[in-house]
Structures are given as C-alpha cells and as structure tokens.
Structure 1
Amino acid sequence: MLIVGIGNGFLGKITAQYLQKAYTGTANPNITSPSIIVVLGGGITDFNTIEQPHITSYSRLVAACRLYHKIRENKQPCTILVSGKGNSHKTSEAELFRKALIGMGIPDSDIIKEDSSENTYQNAKYSSVMLRKQMPSQVYLVTSGFHLKRALLLFETFGIKPVPYPSDYIDTKITVFPNSYNCAFTSFMLKELIGIVQVHFYTTMGLNKSEK
C-alpha cells in the first residue's frame, strides 16, 4: 500500500501541502530596510568535466536575482550570501552561484560566499556566523519550497530568523496507476520529513548547538 500511495501521488500531495503551504504567500515581502539574501545551493552537476549548478539550483538563482532587484528598486542596500561547498573537488557551489549571479547582472561587490558547508545544517551554522558580522536589518532565505521548513528550523537553531522566500514548489498528480514522476518527487519530500524529525530530535537532545 505504501508503494501505491507513493506512486499514485496521494502521499506526495499530502506531504507537499505540509511542507509548502505556509510559504505560498511569502514571495512578495514589504521591503523597508537593508537586507541580505541567503541562497542555499542544490548541488553540482559535473558532466563531461563541465561543472554547473544542479538543475534544482536555477530557480533559486532566479528568485534571488528577482528579490535583489526588488530590494534595490526600494532604494535599500542588499547583499547576496551564497552558501554551499557542494560535491565537487574543483569548484565550490558558492563560486558557481557567484558566477551565475554576475552573469544575471548582480554586481560582484554585492555577493559574498560561504563555501565550506556540505549540507543544510552546515549552511545554517556557517552562514549564521557571517550574518552576525554583517548585521543586516533583514535576512531573506531563498530555497525551494519543499526545503524551506527544515532550513528555517536550522537557521533559527543558530539564532537567525529569516524571512522565507520560496524559489519554486513541487507537487504530485493523483493517478490511477503509479508512475515515476510521483515516485521521484515524493521521495524528495519524504527526505525532508525525515530531516525535520531529525532536527527536532537533535534539538531536544541538545545536539544542535547555537553559536550566538
């Protein structure tokens, strides 16, 4: 029954609502202060020695660029913090993001890199240290909608309460017969559910240490 529930989209539909519904109205913030946009990476694809941000990363780059220009249009200073080392031994994910953002018209002087983190926990841990040094009035967190709930929990663990800014949403389709589309996207979301439980467990056990 579990396999059928995953393959026909039913479980994915419920999980998508739980993970993303709270953030469906947060893509139009009221901008009134200096800001830092934190963009979380989605991995690196190294195909035939050509390194590129993973396909899930491009919506995050576009969303960060859109938010940056919205903040600047409101005549407020803005910096983009790109976070992630990625799975490459050659170029960090943060560096690939930096180059992509420059190509999208973001000044290099408005980009800072956190290129040591290898997972969301480390994204939050290392970025929080840099954010406290920058002392922004507002912090925005850009990542995929299904990833936001866990990412926000981890940033709050390290004393940062960012405004969520979802770059994309995923959902499944209810079908009579199981299909690979539903299986793939449901697996992404189930991984997030497990991660959220893990965050709460570690916090309860005192293993998620804030570094204020």
Structure 2
Amino acid sequence: MDSLFFIFSKVLTIFLYPLPVFFLLSFCLLFRIKTGKIKFLFFLLCLFLYLSSSAFVANAMVTGLEKDYPPVPLEKVPKADVAIVLGGMIQTISAVKVRPELTDSADRITDTIRLYRAGKVKKIIFTGGSGLLLSDEYREADLAKSLLIDLGVKEEDIILENNSRNTYENAVETKKIIEEKKLQSYILVTSAFHMKRASGCFHKQNLDVFPFPTDFRALNLESGAFELYLPSAGFLELTTLSIKEWVGYFVYHAKSYL
C-alpha cells in the first residue's frame, strides 16, 4: 500500500508543476487553433521551451563545459601556498541578513575548506565582490569571512578580495594580491562548468593555477529515472546556466581575456 501511495504521489504531483501544466494546456490549445500558420508557430515555441527544459539537452550543454575538468581526488592534489576560490556561492540579495545563505554552488566553499583541512593549502583567497548591475551593498567576500571562520579556517589564513565583479576581474584583482603577498603556487577552485573560462582568465594573467573543479552538474542519463523524461524547471535552469557560460566563454575569448 505504501509503495502504491509513493508511486501516485510522484506521478500525480507532476500535474501541479508549472511546466507540465503549461505543456498540457498548450497541447489542448493546439487543437483549438484554426489557422495553420499560427498553429505551427505556436508548436515551434512550445517545442523550443520543451527542449530547453529537457534533461537531455541540458545535460549535453553542461557536459561540453565540464568534460575537460573531471573530479580530482584529494590525495592527487599538489600542495600549494593558497587556494583561490571564486565567489558565486553566497546569496547577496537574501532576505536573511544574520548569516550567509549558500546557493547551489556551495561546493566551491566546502571543497576549499576540505583542501585547507587536508593541509593542501596554507591560505585561502576568496575573490568576489558584487556581480549585480545596480546593487553592491553586500559584497560576497565580506559575507564569506564569518562563514570561513565558523567552519574552522583561521582568520589569519583568510585573504579577501571584494572589488571584482566578474571572472576576468577575479583574475586581475587576485594577481595583485598574489604579487603583494609573494605567493608562489595556487589551486583554483570553482564549479566544473565554470572552470574552462576561469582557468583561461588566470592563465592569461600568467598565474599557473592547478584546477580543482567542484559542483558538477552533469546528469546520469542511464539511471532510468522517470523524471528525466519530463520537462523540468531544474533542467531549464541548467540549460540557461550553460548558455550563459558558453556565451561568457566566447565573449571573453573575443576580448582576449582568455
């Protein structure tokens, strides 16, 4: 009985989600549209949204970004003076102000702390100001300090860079700190989908970083999960994220940031 309830709870709740409801209503509407040209255009729009919210399309796009940066076992990471962790995992517009709230990219900071606690790095540079267009009241690096201390990092081992607004500026501003502190070796920590662009920016600044990718987003399409075959806001978000990253990579390449 419990198994039957579990199955029905999974299947029936699908029809409460915005995207499946949209496609169900759109399918009904297609039969109501009389004009062939309008029906075809409406079908194309629905198809575009369906593919954008498909696990298979989302996975193909993010896999292209992540494939050159597989996970690195901790024991194979060389020791370095500093771990450079890129911002993007702390919500700067959260309604909660009493503590830092982490986003889906929280692995960036937790894996950096793993490197620190394993003795792979002596210090941590957290680089990231505000990437928001009209607001920089809360800068990510400033919010990160208390979190790092609470998670066991010594205050004297934390170096903050809060002026950068994008990945290119992360590299430029971090280089200034590295030269000032006379640091010699560096491990770069960021999301696997972002490492292609990030490592390119740091190498352009003549910083020979060791990439330590984290926050992998690729999906196991062979799992056979029923949810893989349904349009999902999560898959749509992954497609959007991948498009943003691919566009960023090609723009940076065109501007010689890489």
TM-score range, shorter chain: 0.7 to 0.9
Verify: 1:40 aligned to 2:86, yes or no.
yes
- Alignment check: 8 A CA contact 1:83 1:94 kept: yes
* Aligned twin of 2:214: 167
**Partner of residue 189 from structure 1, selected from 242, 250, 258:** 242
> Matched residues in 1 for 2:179 and 2:75: separation?
22
Deviations 1:2-29 (A, max 9, x none): 4333221222212222111222132436
- Answer yes or no: is the 8 Å Cα contact 1:82–1:94 preserved in 2: yes
Q: Partner of 1:200 in structure 2?
A: 253
Q: What SS does the aligned partner of 2:74 have? A: coil
State how far apart, in whole Å, the 2-side matches of 1:56 and 1:129 are: 29
- Conserved in 1, the CA contact under 8 Å of 2:123 and 2:157? yes
Q: Which deviations, in whole Å up to 9, do the C-alpha atoms of 1:62-114 show, x marking residues without a partner?
A: 11100111225xxxx61100111124644421121111110011100001111
Task: Summarize the Cα distance change of 1:181–1:32 in structure 2 as closer, same or farther, 3 Å threshold.
Answer: closer
Q: Structure 1 unaligned runs (5+)?
A: none
Q: Which residue of 1 aligns with 2:199?
A: 152
SS of the residue corresponding to residue 65 of structure 1 reads helix
Q: Percent identity?
A: 25
1:17 aligns with 2:70: no
Offset at 1:31?
5.0
Given the two structures, how large is their TM-score scaled by the length of structure 2? 0.70
Aligned partners of 2:100 and 2:147 also within 8 Å: no
CA gap of 1:162–1:121, structure 2 versus 1, over 3 A, is same
Shift of 1:51: 5.8
Whose radius of gyration is greater, 1 or 2? 2
Q: How many residues align?
A: 201
Q: Which structure 2 residues correspond to residues 67-78 of structure 1 after superposition, within 5 A?
A: 67-71=115-119, 78=122
**TM-score for both structures, normalised by structure 1:** 0.83
Structure 1 residues 192 and 28, CA gap change in structure 2 (3 angstroms): same
For residues 165 and 14 of structure 1, the distance between their equivalents in structure 2, rounded to whole angstroms, comes to 22
Question: 1:53 Cα deviation (Å)?
Answer: 4.4
* Equivalent residues of 1:40, 1:123 under 8 A apart: yes
2:42 alignment partner in structure 1: none
Q: Any runs of at least 4 consecutive aligned residues in structure 1 with deviations exceeding 6 A, and if so which?
A: none
After superposition, the Cα gap between the structure-2 partners of 1:62 and 1:155, relative to the gap in structure 1 and judged at 3 Å, is same
Unaligned runs of 5+ residues in structure 2 are 1-46, 222-227
Q: For 2:115 and 2:167, how far apart are their aligned partners in 1? A: 21
Higher strand share goes to which structure?
1
Q: Is the 8 A contact 2:188 2:210 kept in 1?
A: yes
Alignment match, 2:145? 98
* 1:35/1:27 CA distance change after superposition, 3 Å: farther
Q: Conserved in 1, the CA contact under 8 Å of 2:83 and 2:189?
A: yes
Q: Distance between the aligned counterparts of 2:78 and 2:231, measured in 1?
A: 47
Check whether the contact 1:36–1:81 (CA below 8 A) recurs between aligned residues: yes
Q: What letter is aligned with 1:156? A: H
Correspondence for 1:119: 166
Partner of 1:80: 124
2:156 pairs, out of 109, 115, 131, with: 109
Structure with the higher fraction of residues in helix conformation: 2
Partner SS, residue 85 of structure 1: coil
| Superposition deviation, residue 121 in structure 1 | 1.4
Q: Tell me the equivalent position of 2:184.
A: 137
Q: Which amino acid aligns with 2:115?
A: L
